């Protein structure tokens, strides 16, 4: 028997040498790639940026940016559910503009007090509300109990001016992404708080119409009552700070500059109490079906955006845009998440935070997770001022910032801020950069969005805070200067830097 041994053909020496060298080059390339990708992306995330303290101070109560109005002429008229799409742009002012004879320090202190009450109430609302049903049968004869719904603190922070009724009566209305209802004070008033304009009287409007108890609109209310004598729908909204509004649920025409939107469901409040700071009522911008975007979705293509200016450094007005023009081409988008038990708030996924060009190791995505039953998570909120992070994430981020800012002179704590600096007599300082990493969108904050003046003597504080609640909130100080885009049709939120121009 013959034994055959198979031997591979030998490659020429020069070819073996080339292949060996090629293998070494690939191995070296792989090692270098692994090394650089394992490093923090310092090239894309700068470690420091410049803050000019002398150009930023506490804002004072300046007059509003709104001009006297007259009833518009030759404007288009749209149903709230019309398929026609257009865009509307409105100026926004901060609620402090309605306060008089108060110092900048007093205004800022009041803002932080409102902020703490709001955050506490939002956390309570998010933790306790059960899953909503699609419809609710109205209670005969009115209301049997207080119901917490929508916005968790009544005052809000930004307002606009719009017309209500026909002929249009112009009033200030707070805009808020944490509310699912539109309402205003109405005559006759059983109890009404003080507002800047005359109280709206529905008896003088040609387009005011009450809603029947049997109407689907009435059943959409979280808490619906029924006037048994007139068979008309009643609404009630109670807020976490004890504020409330109660009255008739009706449809009315709202006028935005030269555009009218008719058939908007509004609460006409005859019994109102609370911290509403001079505005006539509230234009809810939440995700619910009875908010203004929810009712006018087809009219404005389910899109709106706002840009809030830094009032300490700019005299330009803030603005809100409804319609396709609301979407900035420079915006970076992150998907919206759904909370199974609460559809009011805008939930997003925060994956991490960088300070000084480096991801903070203690700020893990798991700390911000929205679980299957609706607990935890992160929301974008126009009415909260200071961003709140769950305590472990805040401590890790704060400590990283302190390390990066160790060359700055420390100052005593102030209110809820535990990291403050004395920047008096400083013309320019270098501060660590801060980047919020949302899924699909890295948002690099200007220095003025996280190191803010708290008095008129040069004290600046790190404008983040911790919360013992499982819910984190991205506040409006951190949103300043960005056009924040709410694209409900695309189920996403976007951030466009330098968006207030």
Catalytic status, residue 83: no
Structure tokens at 262: 């008719």
How many Å is the Cα radius of gyration of the chain? Answer: 27
DSSP string, 251-302: EEEEEETTEEEEEEEEEEEEEEES--TB-SEEEE-SSSTTSHHHHTTTTTTT
Neighbouring CB atoms inside 10 A of 101's CB total 6
Q: Nearest to residue 200, comparing CAs of 162, 169, 159, 174?
A: 169
Respond yes or no on whether the N-terminal peptide bond of residue 188 is cis (omega within 30° of 0).
yes
Q: How far apart are CA 313 and CA 55, in angstroms?
A: 6
CB 453 within 8 A of CB 424: no
Q: Which helix (H) or strand (E) holds 124?
A: helix 104-128
CB 175 within 8 A of CB 382: yes
C-alpha separations of 335 from 259, 367, 372, 485, 495 in Å: 31, 18, 17, 12, 12
Q: How far apart are CA 345 and CA 275, in angstroms?
A: 21
178: helix, strand or coil = coil
Neighbouring CB atoms inside 10 A of 423's CB total 24
Structure tokens at 203: 């008896």
**HSE toward the beta carbon, residue 52, CA cutoff 13 A:** 4
Handedness of CA 343, 344, 348, 349 (dihedral sign): negative
Task: Please name the residues in contact with 39: beta carbons below 8 A apart, sequence gap of 6 or more.
Answer: none
Vertex 323 angle, CA 318 and 329, to 5°: 75
Task: Name the active-site residue from 248, 381, 455, 487.
Answer: 381
Q: How far apart are CA 349 and CA 377, in angstroms?
A: 7
CB 126 within 8 A of CB 376: no
Task: Name the active-site residue from 115, 176, 180, 455.
Answer: 176
Q: Nearest to residue 293, comparing CAs of 178, 125, 137, 200?
A: 178
DSSP string, 313-355: T--SPEEEEESGGG--TT-EEEE-B--TT--SSEEE-EEEEEE
Catalytic status, residue 381: yes
> What positions carry a catalytic annotation?
176, 381
């Amino acid at each position: 028997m013959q034994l055959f041994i198979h031997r591979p053909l030998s490659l020429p020496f020069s070819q073996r040498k080339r292949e060996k060298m090629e293998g070494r080059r690939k191995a070296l390339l792989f090692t270098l790639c692994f090394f650089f990708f394992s490093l923090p992306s310092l090239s894309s995330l700068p470690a420091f940026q410049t803050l000019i303290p002398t150009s930023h101070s506490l804002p004072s109560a300046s007059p509003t940016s709104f001009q006297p109005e007259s009833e518009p002429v030759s404007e288009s008229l749209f149903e709230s559910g019309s398929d026609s799409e257009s865009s509307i742009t409105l100026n926004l002012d901060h609620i402090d503009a309605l306060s008089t004879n108060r110092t900048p320090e007093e205004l800022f202190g009041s803002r932080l007090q409102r902020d703490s009450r709001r955050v506490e109430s939002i956390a309570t609302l998010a933790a306790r509300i059960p899953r909503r049903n699609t419809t609710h049968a109205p209670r005969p004869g009115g209301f049997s109990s207080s119901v917490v719904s929508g916005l968790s603190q009544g005052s809000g922070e930004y307002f606009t001016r719009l017309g209500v009724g026909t002929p249009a009566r112009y009033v200030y209305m707070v805009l808020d992404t944490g509310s699912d209802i539109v309402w205003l004070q109405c005559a006759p008033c059983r109890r009404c708080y003080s507002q800047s304009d005359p109280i709206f009287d529905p008896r003088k409007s040609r387009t005011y119409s009450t809603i029947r108890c049997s109407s689907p609109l009435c059943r959409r209310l979280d808490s619906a009552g029924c006037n048994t004598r007139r068979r008309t729908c009643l609404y009630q909204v109670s807020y976490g700070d004890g504020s409330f509004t109660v009255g008739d649920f009706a449809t009315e025409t709202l006028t935005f500059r030269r555009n009218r939107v008719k058939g908007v469901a509004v609460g006409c409040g005859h019994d109102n109490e609370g911290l509403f700071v001079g505005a006539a009522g509230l234009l809810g911008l939440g995700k619910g079906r009875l908010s203004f975007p929810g009712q006018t979705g087809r009219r404005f293509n389910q899109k709106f955006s706002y840009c809030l200016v830094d009032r300490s450094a700019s005299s330009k007005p803030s603005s809100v845009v409804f319609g396709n023009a609301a979407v900035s081409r420079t915006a970076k988008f992150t998907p919206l998440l759904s909370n199974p038990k609460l559809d009011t708030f805008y939930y997003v996924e925060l994956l991490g935070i960088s300070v000084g060009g480096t991801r903070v190791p203690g700020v893990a995505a798991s700390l911000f997770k929205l679980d299957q039953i609706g607990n935890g998570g992160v929301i974008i909120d126009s009415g909260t001022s200071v961003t709140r992070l769950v305590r472990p994430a805040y401590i890790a981020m704060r400590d990283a910032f302190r390390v990066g800012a160790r060359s700055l002179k420390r100052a005593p704590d102030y209110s809820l801020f535990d990291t403050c600096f004395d920047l008096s007599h400083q013309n320019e300082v270098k501060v660590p950069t801060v980047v919020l990493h949302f899924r699909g969108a890295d948002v690099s904050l200007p220095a003025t969005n996280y190191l803010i003046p708290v008095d008129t003597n040069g004290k600046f504080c790190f404008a983040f805070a911790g919360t013992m609640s499982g819910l984190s909130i991205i506040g409006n100080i951190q949103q300043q200067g960005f056009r924040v885009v709410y694209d409900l049709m695309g189920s996403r939120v976007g951030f466009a830097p330098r968006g207030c121009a």
